[in-house]
Chains A and B, each alone.
Chain A
């Protein structure tokens, strides 16, 4: 019994001890180190950092270990920690032109200045289980070529030079870029706020939403103008010294889509954009985010909504957060017997009245 009989406190303590024991598992097997997780499960780390909204591979690894590999649980640990951190300022806008990319591809041009750089991708692997890994994990080291140490201009810039794609507007004030974690979400949200919500949304949720647009629920004809993954520096201006200093170097994934154009006889048509930006190597989510971003932009681009789920700002922004979702969905396992009792009494009464009416 998990309920009101005395002993709830002891039951909770025992449950936690049992959980710890199961997390550790068979003691004959070496304990998994945080370093191992950090260096060998980097894509899990990327997800935890992105959806936890905290770039810290070490803490993400710890969270994954503590959560027994349940990534949503790990994200939750990170979020609960993050919210206690003081906020001492706002960093300088990140310039992804300055990225040192390890992967950078464009689907819109056969070749691009700097070249297509595949990088460490699962694309084109044949998905065959590699049974060698069961036995021997030794892998030859790989030295990337010089191509990976340069900065690349964004591919969409080539279109922009021609004036054939819309120009991104930059927001300069904090009012234009509010902090989702410090203010209640209010709808309608501007694009900056939407992008914030999307980048910390659940990958699976965004993937499903993006997929639905491709299948016709709010279709927006995307081309991947460019997808790039690599390191960028984060700078922060210290007012006392009057210039920017680099406080971190982070890995990010960025996707820019080129979408169907808009225009009229008087305003020459232009391509439009969708944008995805995610911590770590997470291109599935970056692409999904760009598609959903574009779908949500129908109003500001003067389009007519199909009423598709992915075009519905309130639907997408209120339901994409996996920590909110998992908490609320799972809370129904808490005791609800008081409410159930009220329903029982009500249904018995209604049934009684109905039977009497039938007889009478």
Chain B
């Protein structure tokens, strides 16, 4: 099954590789939040720039799919453009900026504002899949901690945050517990997006290419942000209104618009912003 002017296999990866990735995906879906090792390939874009997400997307895509790619919530950020063009070239699939019309959405750093549906797959690009990594640098140790459900270190970290700063000082990549079992890194999305993961109708797949890990949250799965009873989790955002569409409930970008440092706030999700305007 070759495609477009150059002789790539559909969606670039060979069928054996896609099968290997799909096996990892199925395992990941079966054990929500567990990091499945997979034989990540070298992709024609750098590690750390979405190679995991690209491999997962490539393994999921069919010719009838409609793909949306966002970075920082926007379809027009440089790396989103680059990845979208890649799949246009090597898979020839239709692409869209419209969240509702996409069957596969690859994202970096955001979850769309619009509620996703059962017909959709959300693919996250993940730099460091291990939520415990910055507490324990050794993979050999963190794998044992997950196996034994030994998460005391994480709770101590959150407690220390509160004792030093008065609150949990994690603003993005805020750790979650999936299906009451594994602590999982939601990828570096702002914690504002965390509640969207909980009982989400869409399949959520996470690909970390350089670290050779895949994990997943199946549809309608419990995803809880870690917190304490007296310091409950808060999905924070800039307390402003979008100056383009007037939305008051979306995650906002803060843009410096002149040399005096004047700020303007607008929706990070560019498709959502456009849909509110019209």
Contacts and interface: CB of A to CB of B under 8 A. Distances in A.
Interface string B242-265: 000000000111100000000000
A314 to B, nearest CB: 6
Given A4-B76, A8-B78, A185 B212 contact: yes
B199 interface: no
B72 A323 contact: no
Contacts of A12: 78, 81-82
B138 interface: yes
Interface in B61-116: 71-74, 76-82, 85, 109-110
Nearest to B189: A338
Contacts of B236: 342, 345-346, 349
B41 A7 contact: no
B46 interface: yes
Given A331-B46, A331-B127, A350-B167, A338 B172 contact: yes
Nearest to A185: B212
A263 B82 CA distance: 59
Interface string A117-144: 0000000000000000000000000000
Contacts of A337: 72, 253
Contacts of A353: 166-167
Chain B interface SS verdict (over half)? loop
B48 interface: yes
A113 interface: no
B42 A82 contact: yes
Interface residues of B, number: 56
A339 B171 contact: yes
Contacts of A324: 47, 210
A338 B188 CA distance: 9
A335 B79 contact: yes
A338 B237 CA distance: 11
Interface stretch (B32-40, B145-153, B218-226): B32-40
A9 B76 contact: yes
* Contact-size category for A: 35 or more
A7 B76 contact: yes
A328 B85 CA distance: 22
Contacts of A338: 72-73, 109-110, 172, 189-190, 251, 253, 268
A60 to B, nearest CB: 16
A314 B76 contact: no
Most buried by A among B46, B173, B190, B236: B46
Contacts of B71: 334-335
Most buried by A among B42, B173, B190, B268: B42
A183 B167 contact: no
A354 interface: yes
Contact of B42 (A5, A79, A343, A349): A79
Contact of B172 (A184, A328, A339): A339
B68 to A, nearest CB: 15
Contacts of A82: 42
Nearest to A52: B42
Interface of B: 14, 37-44, 46-49, 51, 71-74, 76-82, 85, 109-110, 127, 138-140, 165-167, 169, 171-173, 188-192, 210, 212-213, 236-238, 251-254, 268, 270
23 contacts: A2-B78, A3-B77, A8-B78, A12-B82, A79-B42, A80-B42, A82-B42, A181-B42, A184-B40, A188-B140, A327-B46, A328-B48, A328-B210, A329-B48, A334-B71, A334-B79, A338-B73, A338-B172, A338-B189, A341-B254, A345-B237, A346-B167, A349-B167
Query: What are the 5 tightest A-B residue pairs by CB atom distance, in nearest-first order?
Result: A327-B47, A331-B48, A327-B46, A342-B171, A342-B190
Given A83-B43, A181-B42, A342-B192, 18 more contacts: A3-B77, A6-B76, A8-B80, A12-B78, A80-B44, A187-B140, A326-B46, A327-B46, A331-B47, A334-B71, A337-B72, A341-B252, A342-B191, A345-B236, A349-B167, A350-B165, A350-B166, A354-B166
